[in-house]
Chain A
Amino acid sequence: MSATNADAAPLAPPLPAKAVNDNRAHMNPLPPSVFTLPQTAQLEALYTIIRSKETSRGDFLFYSDRIIRLLVEEGLNHLPVVARTIETPTGATYNGVGFQGKICGVSILRAGEAMEAGLREVCRSVRIGKILIQRDEDTALPKLFYSKFPQDIASRYVLLLDPMLATGGSAMKAVEVIMEHGVPEERIIFINLIAAPEGLKAFCTRFPSLKVITGWIDEGLNEKAYIIPGLGDFGERSFETVAEASQGSSRLYM
């Protein structure tokens, strides 16, 4: 993102886009920090493709990338801009806006990694940190296994990437870790493909000023904490590997 006219005053952030969408079948009202994409027929068609178990891996990647790009675009709209005046090739003056603020991505391994390509298509050479969280078999609580962040993460806006939000356990742990590195809650934007109402509610109650961009809010969780209807295991479908650890479904949708 190119910062310009640093001395100009930041403009007001956009208003919540909720007026134009009706993604409330399973959650009404939405928490004020939750923003969804406009629930259009073509978006529903994209979700239908990636939900189907008949969809090939190639199609799964292509269509999930399309949604991720839209989610990232929506997320970026919550970054500040400044007024910027330029001259066009035709010699006219144009009053536009310039982007302000540096960003970085943080993906929650493993599935979040599959969202990095989409992020990079929208934000060239964006820095991306990683975080691995798994369930501690003894305490049944999410535990940080590994994290690697850009050094100056504290001065950046963070786009947190995790495609599936089920119980919200790992996402909340990830936010905790990022905040421990000096990033204030309101500078984190959580980018998410599918959310369960239970997890979304827990997450938003815990971090009320953290903006959540989600594409679709599903019915809920089943007894194994899978999102219903969901789309299966996002990481597995993206990378086409079945991790040993995930066989017992221990970590995936915490």
Chain B
Amino acid sequence: MFDDFVDRSNLLSFQLSNGPTDGQSRLAIPALQAKKNTILVSHGRPPWYAEDGQRITDAFVIGVAGGSASGKTHVARQIVRKLGSIPTVIILSQDSFYKYHNEEELKLAHANMLDFDHPDAIDMPIFAACLADLKACKQSNIPIYSFQEHQRLVETKYLYGATIIIAEGIMSLVDPALRALYDLKVFVQCDSDVMLARRIKRDVKERGRDVDGIIDQYLRYVKPSYDTFVRPSSSYADIIVPGSNNDVAIDLICTHIREKLQERSSTFRQKIAVPLKYMSPRSGASTPESFLEDLHLTLLPQTWQVQGIYTILRDRTTSRQDFIFFADRLSTLLVECALQHLPYAPKMVVTPIDIESHGKKMDAKYVCGVTILRSGGALERGFRRVINDVPVGSMLIQSDSKSGEAMLLHLMLPNYVRFRHLAQQAYIFLLDSQIGTAAAAFMAIRILLDHGVPEDHIIFITFIVSREGGILVLKRAFPGVKIVCGAVDDEMQEGWLEGYKGEGNPEGNGRQVWVIKPGMGQIGVISYYHFHFHSVHVLRR
């Protein structure tokens, strides 16, 4: 539905930028950037983990080095384009990693007297640390360098979730720590006179600089740096690509990457949707009751009211209005019940009539909610009724229209999750309407773990869990995750969802789905359609 329109700037997006001394060209880029991102990720991110919940492999990292104006950017873009339907690519530019300058250096920088073409100008340890995090599929908050202020800014840029990372910059093959991270090292070779010619043309045209100034800078910094540091680093390259007419070389690189990615891909959903078909039967214990206890679900007390609410929600004749009212009421109760999984500490307060009262307080430093769109939106209002002062993020996870595999299409996480040191202390409530195949739940939990959230700090709130579905695999992979639900249904049934012609599905193809029985139907589709559209729309702004 939103596949091609969701702004995924949080998932990836780092802009291409050419060389150290031509940083101002960034200012012209924003208009191009949005377009570029849609090219980079039009298909969502398929599972990057196995049924045991562990990551299968690291991201594939390519280092691209070469002289200023040698065509590194072009090569990086061509690789992305030729790869076609790759899920997510981050292009990490060396420019972001210029060091923080003291006042003296700042003066020199403004007078164009600071040597930006020296390896020491770049904060290699941070560059390597960020790249290592991204390679290990963790989040990274990379520095932002302002070429206007010639300074590293206080803010950082959050990046997460790439299958391929291209680290690009003149010095990207110079540092041994960086080199150790690359799966493929590319050097873009270009004659000095071609590079100078391109540089003059670009600087004159884009920045209105005069030729004398450009040549002066070239001779003083760019050329010596190229000869001393950049060109010698080409000896580390796996492949040397010419700076022009390089189609064949790029084809070769792409073939190599595709092969490597193929080796790493996994088909995941079929295996977990109906685990009983894939797993050896458990010895002896086969009664559903003992089954259920093993899962350690937190089941809402089955009062008459709860049973009555479920009867209304399951009824196919229930109006949309009624459905929403009772879904809100139920989710309020579920969230209240889920709060038992937070830590509490003693607290003394004084009442208005000045009497001491010994009670408790919630003892979690950071708490936030994350909705799994679209159907998790049905729990959001209830969540807000109970916890009104915490950030709520979202993940758009939908199954691929062809393979049925869960695909991460959009990610908007609260800052408590984005920064690893906060995530390690945060408690996260994950909201989704049901756990059937558990493919979306699996992905959502993996994302939080990737960010450093401890497994036992994740509390998953849902209306229905299917006893026969993926819950078994989910609990086996992530035993520490708390699952709070209001009902446990018996069956998973294979079904077929009629497709609708629309964006991302031009032929209107239907697809295979698993439905929970008796279940509540397709919650996101029927009742919360407008609600979700609204929330996604808001997130895009």
Contact = CB atoms under 8 A, between A and B. Distances in A.
Interface of A: 2, 11, 14, 40-42, 44-45, 47-49, 51-54, 62, 66, 69-70, 73, 76-77, 79, 81, 84, 86-90, 92-94, 96-99, 121-122, 124, 222, 226, 228-233, 237
A76 B540 CA distance: 41
Interface in B331-379: 332-333, 336, 339-340, 342, 344, 347, 349-357, 359-362
11 contacts: A40-B340, A52-B357, A54-B349, A66-B385, A69-B385, A73-B305, A84-B311, A89-B526, A92-B491, A96-B307, A99-B305
Given A81-B304, A88-B316, A88-B519, A97 B353 contact: no
Nearest to B359: A48
Contacts of A99: 305, 308
A99 B58 CA distance: 54
B359 A44 contact: yes
Contacts of A79: 304
Contacts of A42: 336, 339-340, 342, 344, 362
Interface string B372-396: 0000000000000110100000000
Contacts of B385: 66, 69, 121
- Cβ-closest 10 pairs across A and B: A96-B311, A89-B521, A232-B352, A48-B359, A52-B349, A92-B518, A229-B357, A41-B344, A86-B315, A42-B339
Contacts of B519: 88-90, 92
B351 A232 contact: yes
Contacts of A77: 303-305
Contacts of A98: 308, 311
A88 B351 contact: no
A45 B311 contact: no
Contacts of B312: 2
Nearest to B386: A66
Interface in B503-526: 515-522, 526
Interface string B70-112: 0000000000000000000000000000000000000000000
Nearest to A237: B352
A48 B360 contact: yes
A70 B382 CA distance: 13
Nearest to A122: B329
Main secondary structure of the interface of A (DSSP, over half): mixed
B14 interface: no
Nearest to A78: B304
A199 B333 CA distance: 30
Contact of B357 (A51, A97, A121): A51
Given A45-B361, A48-B349, A52-B349, A66 B304 contact: no
Contact of A94 (B303, B314, B333, B352): B314
B390 to A, nearest CB: 13
B362 A45 contact: yes
B520 A88 contact: yes
Max chain B C-beta neighbours (<10 A), residue from A2, A41, A69, A222: A41
A44 B359 CA distance: 6
Nearest to A94: B518
A2 B356 CA distance: 45
A185 B329 CA distance: 28
A34 B336 CA distance: 22
Interface of B: 303-305, 307-308, 310-312, 314-317, 325, 329, 332-333, 336, 339-340, 342, 344, 347, 349-357, 359-362, 385-386, 388, 491, 493, 495, 515-522, 526
Given A42-B342, A66-B336, A88-B316, A231 B351 contact: yes
B353 A51 contact: no
B384 to A, nearest CB: 11
Given A40-B340, A48-B359, 13 more contacts: A41-B340, A48-B360, A48-B361, A79-B304, A81-B307, A81-B308, A88-B316, A88-B518, A88-B520, A90-B495, A90-B519, A230-B353, A231-B351
A124 B517 CA distance: 29
B308 A230 contact: no
B303 A14 contact: yes
A53 B354 CA distance: 8
Nearest to B357: A229
A45 B518 contact: no
Contacts of B339: 42
Nearest to A58: B388
Max chain A C-beta neighbours (<10 A), residue from B314, B350, B359: B359
A53 B360 contact: no
A122 to B, nearest CB: 6
A77 B308 CA distance: 10
A229 B360 contact: no
A99 B304 CA distance: 8
Contacts of B332: 69, 121
Max chain A C-beta neighbours (<10 A), residue from B307, B347, B350: B307
Contact of A231 (B352, B361, B493): B352
Given A88-B520, A92-B518, A48 B311 contact: no
Contacts of A40: 340
Contacts of B352: 53, 231-233, 237
Max chain B C-beta neighbours (<10 A), residue from A86, A121, A124, A232: A86
Contacts of A231: 351-352
Contacts of B304: 11, 14, 76-77, 79, 81, 97
Given A54-B349, A77-B303, A96 B340 contact: no
A99 B312 CA distance: 10
A52 B310 CA distance: 37
Nearest to B493: A90
Contacts of A84: 311
A86 B314 contact: yes
A44 B360 contact: yes
Nearest to A233: B352
A119 B64 CA distance: 64
Given A69-B332, A76-B305, A93-B518, A51 B361 contact: no
A49 B308 CA distance: 32
